[in-house]
Structure 1
Amino acid sequence: MTESMLKFVSVAQQQPEKRTAPARKADFNEIYEDFKPQEATTQASRCSQCGVPFCSVGCPLGNNIPDWLMLTANNRLEEAYEISSATNTFPEICGRICPQDRLCEGSCVIEPGFESVTIGAVERYVTDTAFEKGWVKPVSPVTERSESVGIVGAGPAGLAAADRLRSKGYQVHIYDRYDRVGGLLVYGIPGFKLEKDIVARRHKLLEDGGVIFHMGQGIGEAEGELSFAELRKRHTAVLVATGVYKSRDLGGPGAGLKGIEKALDYLTASNRRSLGDTLTDEAKGLDAAGRNVVVIGGGDTAMDCVRTAIRQGAKSVKCLYRRDKANMPGSAREVKNAEEEGVDFVWLAAPEAFLGDETVTGVRAVRMRLGQNDASGRQAIEAVDGSSFTIEADLVIKALGFDPEPLPKLWAQPALSVSRWGTLAVKSDTFMTSLPGVFAAGDIVRGASLVVWAIRDGRDAADCIDKWIEENAPVSVAAVQG
């Protein structure tokens, strides 16, 4: 251990400088500035280098966090990046959008009494520096293999798997129905959390490394789509990494009124507008400017919606959540940012009806109270009799989570087994579905979850695919020329 560490007792925690709320409400740029070099090394030196690194335990990727913090503290940034990227395919993305307060930083052993190490901000600084210095290179396999792997979905799970498989020499093809690489990283997450050139930069690296992208190519039986049967014929193995895109609905009186929208439709329209795309007439209407907005939900998607509405110039923005602040599933950091930007949270309240003739004009809600813990360990909720009240609204956004699409039906693959939740069923130790040579990873298996878990699943699935091909397909490798 060097003398540069263990400074948490003398150095206070410092987050990167955050733009003021009035300034950040005016655009969709990221709200945090990068650490300056001295700030990054100083904050990294607060790490206690504990014998059992609970930050690594709390990270789905098992990142070697103390190691690259020590290297950063000693200004050995290229080595820090090598350690960081050894376990994380996209550290610059995780450093921006991971809920560190619930994962690595939330597990930091110095937190009881001293604020945790700013792991996410240092991770972002190290990787951004690596890109600036030219240390990040396209993958260059030692040998080329003749076997190919087809990946359905260009989101984080699919991209992580592609990177790992390509490094082993496989011919990797990614198919995605959208026109840009990234999935929800591009169309679901707003630019103030993740600017889109960050994702495009990774797309170029993968492409330069030999990954072949088939964008705008849906999989299915509809006209213009590639059948799943044909996809299987093209490749030695297939990985399904589609994510989950089917928005959960909310019924009740008035649920069909105009002006009640799905979160993903709203966020996609906003992101496309920021990207300069030409919007359909329907998408153009998904704009909060001058409107009274009510967002229903308490997760990170709800936070993305309320903060987007603020930036679009909404007249008012309210977030309606049936539990209290302490039980909110979204990142506490995101809730704080939303409050600073002017979002009004209506805690312990749930919608019971939507008001209006043809277009929504209000949400009738009822007050809720928390009761005893249920079987899941969470406090049960119940409505308070006679507590109904009305919130004015001419745009209501439902941010209630996502469910999987019925892939066996859409792909004419009745033998493709699903769980009781509709996600693809896989063997836990191999990621293999019920179809031989067909694997699945990410949200389509575990349900809507964090990007960092999708990266972990993609990497693990790639290793399982490699093992399966080695055991079941003739090996054909050729030395890379030059």
Structure 2
Amino acid sequence: MAEQPMLKFVKIERDMPEKRDADIRREDFREIYAEYADAKAKEQASRCSQCGVPYCQSHCPLHNNIPDWLKLTAEGRLREAYEVSQATNTFPEICGRICPQDRLCEGNCVIEQSGHGTVTIGSVEKYITDTAWEEGWVMPIAPSAERAESVGIIGAGPGGLAAADVLRRAGVQVTVYDRYDRAGGLMTYGIPGFKLEKDVVMRRNQQLEAGGVTFKLDCNVGEDISFDEIRAAHDAVIIATGVYKSRDLAMPNGEAQGIEKAIDFLTASNRKSFGDDVADFDSGRLNAEGKKVVVIGGGDTAMDCVRTSIRQGATSVTCLYRRDRANMPGSQREVQNAEEEGVVFEWLSAPKGFTTDGDKVAGVMVQKMRLGAPDATGRQAPEVIENADYVEEADLVIKALGFEPEDLPTLWNTDGLDVTRWGTIKAEFTTGKTAVEGVYAVGDIVRGASLVVWAIRDGRDCAEAILQKFGAGETVMAAE
């Protein structure tokens, strides 16, 4: 009788891909995890319990069919595993790298709850699709017939690109407008290479372009082209701009030189990785080399900033967060990686202002906090501990406090685009439909700052809703 290929979690322990030594990886921006070898991927996939109610799948925003592609991987049927994986996910190799699996699929794995250690879902997902690229299984989009309808997408981040992929596969004519010179949004310019190497994103951009998606880059809506012009050129428009306006701190000396926004710091670093000329980096303004760096915030953007600072050669890197470790919003896996690389975390610490040397920042005035009684939601609010203030020396302070939406109706000089009290666009939950006829919105500009995987989900759902509205439609020619 052939050996049962699954349920091996009782005799095979969880084993992540090899992680490069911290002293080595802090010297470059390459990804920190090695690839699984084929045998190791099969072994780790075989730990899946194939449970009747797959919580990993139900807690994945895309509802990826995780048990099935784990089983196919364990059986050596890797091409089939790839086909199942990509059926629900536009960018599985990207999600495998940057999704917070510890909070989503892996965090809800049944065998994790029983004490056996979760299946390494993200690493297997990454392995499957990386292998698919290497083997040539990932093909350019080739619709069976071209359609007459046209859709304009504003924003080339994960939500916009996921929608473009679904629409183009159906033969719809798709044009993507983006303010940056490369597509990918925060996947290109926000997330550092040690989490997501840039060639991984660029090859997806190239695949979309080869499949007939038109990109109009360096195109700032409201300046280079009006929103009304885009609406007039297309049968439907999807707004997928993301949220790029940084939250700020109104504090004493907050305008001093050396206090920077996280998005500016990360974008400069990522541009350098492409070999671009970046004046603010070359001048030293957005370069942490030789500096005492303090990062304010506890989310994944803050983790990106502290780990980037280490790699740029900061003399010290400190992260201030006003709650404790258990209550921070960022990935615990990222905190561990940062600590291994030399980052110091000051928990229950909040800024109250900045000290200066002339017009330059010299330190952060820190007030120590404690967690008070839980509120109605059960979350404990930080409270100041009196007479416990101190100054954390700093040459560079990076504010990683999250992002807010820009005022699109004003920027685009358009009426009828309703927004919430938070400034996000009002749109139907599943379709992305807004109050303006033929205009849809997806991703962070609707949800507020969220995860790449949720933007992909929104983009795919919106594209399906648009296709349903178009109906059978009119095909203009058979695709070659």
Q: Does 1:249 align with 2:248?
A: yes
Q: Structure 1 segments of 4 or more deviating over 6 A?
A: none
Structure-2 separation of matches of 1:445 and 1:433: 10
What's the secondary structure of 1:462's corresponding residue?
helix
C-alpha displacement of 1:282: 6.5
| CA deviation after TM superposition for structure 1 residue 141, in Å | 1.1
Matches within 5 A, 1:431-470: 431-470=432-471
TM-score (norm 1): 0.97
Match of 2:432, SS state, is: coil
2:144 touches 2:479 (CA, 8 Å); kept in 1? no
Give 2:140's match in structure 1, choosing from 120, 138, 141: 138
> What are structure 1's unaligned runs of at least 5 residues?
none
Which residue of 91, 115, 121 corresponds with 2:123? Answer: 121
Q: TM-score normalised to the size of structure 2?
A: 0.98
Deviates more, 1:289-298 or 1:133-142: 133-142
> Which secondary structure state, in structure 1, belongs to the residue aligned with residue 5 of structure 2?
coil
Whether the 8 Å CA contact 2:430–2:458 is kept in 1: the answer is: no
Deviations 1:57-101 (A, max 9, x none): 110000000000000000000000000000000000000000100
Deviation at 1:251, TM superposition (A): 1.2
Match of 2:98 in 1: 97
1:220-299 alignment to 2 at 5 Å?
Answer: 220=222, 222=223, 225-281=224-280, 284=283, 285-299=285-299
Q: What is the letter of the counterpart of residue 77 of structure 1?
A: L
Q: CA contact under 8 A between 2:174 and 2:213: conserved in structure 1?
A: yes
- The change in CA–CA distance for 1:291 and 1:375 in structure 2 (over 3 A counts) is same
Question: Which position in structure 1 is the counterpart of 2:48?
Answer: 47
Quote the offset at 1:204 in angstroms: 0.8
Q: Equivalents in 2 of 1:70, 1:428: separation in Å?
A: 33
Q: Per-residue deviation at 1:481?
A: 4.5
Q: How does 1:405-424 map to 2 (within 5 A)?
A: 405-424=406-425
User: Any conservation in 1 of the 2:246–2:402 contact (CA below 8 Å)?
Assistant: yes
Asked whether the equivalents of residues 269 and 283 of structure 1 are also in contact (C-alpha less than 8 Å), the reply is: no
Give runs of aligned pairs for residues 36-435 of structure 1, distance below 5 A. 36-112=37-113, 113-220=115-222, 222=223, 225-281=224-280, 284=283, 285-356=285-356, 357-435=358-436
Deviations 1:169-198 (A, max 9, x none): 100000001000101001100000000000
**Helix, strand or coil for the counterpart of 2:397?**
strand
SS of 1:419's equivalent in the other structure is coil
Q: 3-state DSSP class of the match of 1:369?
A: strand
Q: 1:352 to 1:231 in 2, by over 3 A?
A: same
Describe the SS at the equivalent of 2:112: coil
AA aligned opposite 1:119: I
Asked whether the equivalents of residues 281 and 287 of structure 2 are also in contact (C-alpha less than 8 Å), the reply is no
Shift of 1:2: 7.3
The alignment of Structure 1 onto Structure 2 pairs a total of residues equal to 476
Secondary structure, in 3 states, of the residue corresponding to 1:314?
Answer: coil
Q: Identify if the C-alpha distance between structure 1 residues 297 and 210 changes in structure 2 by more than 3 Å, giving closer, same or farther.
A: same
Alpha carbons 1:142, 1:479 under 8 Å: kept: no
Cα distance between partner residues in 2 of 1:122 and 1:430: 31
Distance in 1 (CA, whole Å) between partners of 2:437 and 2:208 is 27
Structure 2 partner of 1:477: 475
Letter in 1 for 2:97: R
**Which SS does the other structure have where 2:445 is aligned?**
helix
